């Protein structure tokens, strides 16, 4: 079996990339292994921790990591997936080797406003969108043609 390492990147590694990493590691089996990192690592978003716990996934002890540290360590990934806006994704380092770069844009939970319950509801929506996108990625990534074609998977 071929194992493929996937890196999810967002701004602070505090929300979107953490959720994507957790979902891929939960649903990807042994074939897909995920890590996540941020361009400017911050602190885990407490609302994200809460909505992930609601579905039985505990990310509360996850560290936030710096994507540039992973790059300097010489880490190798078969795919780097940005889960932030396109402008921010442009600042992500280019990892060496045959790396598939994908861009999935999701709303940033740290920017949500409203009552605490409204913010949680918006965060749940992003969580569910990320879960569905990761599921679609897993379905595509099962096929060798995914890894050999040059165009990106629709997000």
What beta strand segments (E) does the chain contain? 4-10, 32-38, 79-82, 100-103
HSE of 141, CA atoms in CB hemisphere, 13 A: 24
User: Distance between CA 101 and CA 94 in Å, rounded?
Assistant: 9
Q: Which residues are catalytic?
A: 10, 84, 92
- Per DSSP, what are the bridge partners of residue 100? 79
Q: Give the number of other Cβ atoms within 10 Å of residue 142's Cβ.
A: 12
Whole-angstrom CA distances from 143 to 44, 45, 114, 146 are: 33, 34, 42, 6
C-alpha angle 4/6/8, rounded to 5°? 175
């Amino acid at each position: 079996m071929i194992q493929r390492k996937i890196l999810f990147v967002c701004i602070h590694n505090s929300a979107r990339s953490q959720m994507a990493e957790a979902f891929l590691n939960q649903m990807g089996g042994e074939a897909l292994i995920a890590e996540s990192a941020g361009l400017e690592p911050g602190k885990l978003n407490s609302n994200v921790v809460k909505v992930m716990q609601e579905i039985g996934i505990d990310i509360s002890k996850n560290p936030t990591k710096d994507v540039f540290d992973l790059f300097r360590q010489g880490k190798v990934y078969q795919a780097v997936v940005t889960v932030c806006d396109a402008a921010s994704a442009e600042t992500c380092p280019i990892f060496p080797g045959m790396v598939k770069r994908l861009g999935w844009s999701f709303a940033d939970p740290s920017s949500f406003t409203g009552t605490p319950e409204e913010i949680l509801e918006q965060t749940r929506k992003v969580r569910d969108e990320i879960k569905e996108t990761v599921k679609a990625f897993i379905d595509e990534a099962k096929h060798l043609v995914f890894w050999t074609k040059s165009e990106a998977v629709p997000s």
